[in-house]
Chains A and B, each alone.
Chain A
Amino acid sequence: MLVRSLAIGAAVFALRVGLRSEDSPRSLRVAVATGASRQQIEAQINEAILLEEARRYGWDHSDPVVFTHLVRNMRFLEPNSPANDRELFEQAVDLGLHGRDPVVRDRLLYRANRALLSVPKAAEPSDVELGVHLQRHRSRFVRAPIVTLRHVYLSRERGKDLRRDATTLDLSAPAPGDPLPGLGLRFVGSSDTLRHRVGDALGDAADTAPLHEWQGPIASAFGLHFLRVEHRREGRVPALSSIREEVRADYLRELRQRLHRQRFAALRRAYTVHVEHRP
């Protein structure tokens, strides 16, 4: 949930990113430790660019979190100072604290990244766009296959009679067997549900058994099971009207990531970075 001022600043930031890429490149020096990996160097460059942009927007001077943090630090340094908050803040800036303080740094990075992730209101997807998104990423929205089966269960509490009863069970006639709470004579659901309730063997059988043929006995921790798969419905992707909110949430998640990449790439193009290796 973006705060309103962040959203406004972010929109301006994002807009100007595009414009700035057409200006002459800006120069930036980044100091990295000798022996730093390429990945570490890239991360430091990215961070330096974001910080530079945040400072160009004056967030190190205007951000209320930065403001209160530096004022708090100044009051710690000078507990008896008669200066008011604004004066203390200016003193902190004069001391260069806003440039070195790690909390300020993290706050500016946070705002910059949020700005890169911001989605303008005009980007709210239409049903057409959501439909395209759904088709493009069907695997994200597919519903699990559903199996319909009949089930007969013989409890292990039958003891020594269990195997005999399993051998002599007449499945041609309706045979309710023993009750197993939560798993009735007929089951409609996913094979994973069966796995979670009764174990892998039954779940696997639900997936692989041929239609309309009794299978079993299949052993579980509860006893012996017989099942007859009557129908399988393959996994399917619902219509957009059924899952619109789900698709919208996924669309916006992707959009934010794409906007972040695009905007940051534009920022990178706007800078010439000089890397200095230091021990």
Chain B
Amino acid sequence: MRRSPIGSPLWIAFALVFAPGCPGEDDPPLVEADRFGRCASFDPLRQVFWGDLHVHTELSFDANTQGTRTTMADAYAFARGQPIGLQPYEPSGEPSRMAQIDRPLDFVLVSDHAEFLSTLALCRDLSSAAAGDADCVAYRNALELDADPLDVGRFFNRINGRLIAEPTQVSYPALCGPGDSNCLLAGVDVWSDVLRAADAAYDRTDSCQFTTFPGYEWTGGPAARNLHRNVLFKNASVPAAPIGYLDEPFPEGLWRRLDQECLSAGTGCDVLTIPHNSNLSEGIFFDRLGGAPIDDDYAAERAKFEPLIEIYQHKGASECLPGDSISDELCGFEILPFANLAATNLEVFGSPAPRGFLRSAYGEGLARDVRGEVNPFKHGVVAATDTHVSAAGFVNEASFLGHGGAGQANRFTAPEGFPDIEYLSPGGLTAVWAEENAREAVFAALKRKETFGTSGPRMVVRLFGGWDYPDDLCGRGDLPTIGYRDGVPMGGDLGPATSNAPELVVAARRDIAGAPLQRIQIVKGWHDGTDYRVEVFDVAGDRGNAADVDLATCAPRGTGAANLCAVWRDPSFDAAHPTYYYARVLENPTCRWTTQQCVRTGYDCDQPTRPIDQDCCDPVVGLDRRRCAAVDCADPDLLPAPDARCCAPPLEPTIQERAWTSPIWYRP
């Protein structure tokens, strides 16, 4: 379907209002109402805005028991460039560490876990009937300065265990009283605080400096198989309370309630749910929970509510898994060596299931296209941090302080070695192409999937697909105009074929604070009626530019590009095959955060006396593998602990930061 914003009456009207020269006369009044087109910076050809759609504060149960004391207001302030304090806290209440983002974000979703929002509030209310309940007492004990970390861990596992119960067995804790009414009532209060905080931080003036969305996380994980989804509302017209796993343990139940209490409520409410960490689902993420087949009704609901998926965050990447026919040599980026959430927490190594990765889901969707069924897996792409210390958008590898959550809590002592578990990482960012930085426009961009995710840097990527783009489009300043006029942007659906093969035009600009670009790739997936296939094409840049990193200093070596562009025509297109295309943009190699911290601290593997030395000299980290040359990994359980680490899945000391666009789709 072609998009043509240029010819639309709306664009024409705004072009007249915002034509050069007009603002020099009467300045437009500051607009109070939240309506489309209110921002001074409005571009009908859309501009890129950066955000984090996955942030936890002290309101989340896991963050809370880990010592997070930063609030929603802190999260928004951090996103706007203010420093915040991080745990561990001194007895005086002062934080022992400070964090600050390098550049402000444009939008944020604070997505605290819906489950136990109300329970924690109830336990803290010393006058409530639940205050004396054993779980509430244990919770308050767990918050004490001298709490035993083991006790805290046991308590956390006992309560959090409700989130890994099977859907037919979920229940609120007994302290919630008859009909769970105590917790439900307390939850309404907390939810109104969430809405109020989001509203206070949202810039409703025409400066449009910062956008917030109310929301939360639905935290379903039967048998520790991750099925989590973030719920993002367009505005403050929302259901009376967040609908969590304990309320609706099946995703379709969540969608049904959201339909009833939001989409069909007649209040102007709109919502989407963003799944994440399919890599930790043991491969069930794209199935229908409960085992029923995916029929078209279910598929349509899923597609309606879940246009997007989080492809990368603190707990790893979910693009593709190395080793099968649909993978490529770059699929090994930040792959966690764990199969599910519990394995991640307990560091029990195992292979993630291939079906839990997005490229596999895309193929299942194409198979449904072949059969003439509804495709629920046409996900657009976002990335996020999943920070549990309110540090929204804190993605810089060099200054990473840990995100808590599934990672290191840092509650009781400041980290002397790595600030987080070495397999985890800072996470990424979401970029949207929207006319302005306001809820209406950004939400619309999310819904139509004109989004891309990055592994942290802010490289800018534009992707259009059409049937007849001019070959010289990369050299023309009207690239976006032509891109929209003669095709569809990322996330869109190509119309019927009007030429022999589709053409994609992809342009990328490096992050001024990041590394030069190495290349742009187009990942093509198609289903030929029998098999699902994937092929990756280098379309711009130079994979052989020999750029690398001096591991002694993390200084980059070699050259790269400031911006790249290509008009690429599919050389093997078959109009009978459903197909997708997405762009992957790669920077030159840089040091991973673990390497950066080791280099900065001057680690010494000859005399590893400090905790940081021991962390850096751990063979897993990839900086000192020589000591493992003689270790026999046939039976790691029989090895002494230091040698057994030689057999753990190793990390690469360098990475290639990247961006992934939402795919463009073709259906015959």
Chain A interface residues toward B at CB < 8 A: 1, 3-6, 8, 63-65, 68-69, 72, 102-103, 106-107, 143-144, 146, 148, 150, 152-153, 155-157, 175-186, 188-190, 196-199, 211, 220-223, 230-231, 233, 236, 238-239, 241-243, 245-246, 248-249
Contacts and interface: CB of A to CB of B under 8 A. Distances in A.
B576 interface: no
Nearest to A200: B512
Contacts of B565: 179
A64 B131 contact: yes
Contacts of A188: 18, 40-43
A233 B137 contact: no
A186 B42 CA distance: 10
Given A69-B144, A143-B209, A197-B512, A184 B43 contact: yes
9 contacts: A63-B126, A144-B209, A157-B562, A183-B509, A185-B477, A196-B512, A196-B513, A221-B512, A245-B199
B440 to A, nearest CB: 16
B184 interface: no
B73 interface: yes
Contacts of B561: 157
B23 A231 contact: yes
B477 A231 contact: no
A186 B43 contact: yes
B30 A155 contact: no
B571 interface: no
Please name the 9 residue pairs, one residue from A and one from B, whose CB atoms are nearest each other, closest first. A176-B477, A143-B207, A182-B460, A245-B200, A5-B127, A238-B205, A179-B479, A188-B41, A5-B126
B207 A144 contact: yes
Most buried by B among A63, A146, A182, A198: A182
A6 to B, nearest CB: 7
Nearest to B477: A176
Given A3-B126, A68-B141, A157-B563, A179 B209 contact: no
A150 B20 contact: yes
Nearest to A185: B477
Contacts of B141: 68-69, 72
Contacts of A63: 126
B477 A230 contact: no
B26 to A, nearest CB: 11
Contacts, number: 158
- B contacts with A: majority SS: loop
B535 to A, nearest CB: 25
B30 A156 contact: no
B342 interface: no
Contacts of A3: 124-127
Contact of A184 (B199, B204, B475, B480): B480
Nearest to A69: B144
Given A68-B137, A179-B476, A246-B200, A233 B146 contact: no
A216 to B, nearest CB: 15
Given A144-B207, A144-B209, A249-B200, A221 B510 contact: yes
A181 B509 contact: yes
Contact of B23 (A177, A233, A239, A246): A233
B508 interface: yes
Contact of B32 (A231, A233, A241): A241
B40 A230 contact: no
A150 B24 CA distance: 14
B71 to A, nearest CB: 9
B512 to A, nearest CB: 5
A180 B565 CA distance: 10
A221 B128 CA distance: 61
B462 A181 contact: yes
Contact of B103 (A186, A196, A241): A196
Nearest to B200: A245
B21 interface: yes
Given A6-B126, A181-B462, A233-B27, A222 B509 contact: yes
B399 interface: no
B624 interface: no
Contacts of A211: 24
Contacts of A186: 20, 43
